[in-house]
Amino acid sequence: MFILEVTKKRIWAGILIVLVLIVGVSYFALQMKLNSLEESLKSYLLNEGGYSDSDILSIHAKLSSMPKYPVFVRFADDPDTDYIFTDRDASEWTQLDPKDPQRIIP
């Protein structure tokens, strides 16, 4: 009977460890994806958008339902407005939310 209890405890401990590992790896992968999107948009804005590093206050990506990974940008000349961009799972960045004011990338 004692051996059966020890075996059950080990099985539950193993299941718990596997679940914690799955959650941890998933969280780590999500953070890597978000960081990659932030760096990619920053590179796009600096190289193709004609902005300088000092023009950009912050870039923050997050997980959402639609679009899946929006990236929010705040510019130095308009610090109260979040401009939303998405790469639509491709290499081309698109600005979302066409409300005024709208910042057009040349």
> Domains of the chain: which residue ranges?
2-96
The closest of 75, 78, 70 to 95, measured between CA atoms, is: 70
Structure tokens at 89: 């799972």
Compute the distance between CA of residue 104 and CA of residue 89 in angstroms, rounded to an integer.
21
- Position 60 scores a pLDDT of 95
**Whole-structure pTM value:** 0.77
Q: What is the pLDDT of residues 4-61, one digit of tens each?
A: 677 888 899 999 999 999 999 999 999 999 999 999 999 999 998 889 999 999 999 9
Which residues does residue 61 pair with via DSSP β-bridges, in sequence order? 71
- Position 9 scores a pLDDT of 86
What is the number of other CB atoms lying within 10 angstroms of the CB of residue 89?
8
Compute the distance between CA of residue 26 and CA of residue 55 in angstroms, rounded to an integer.
33
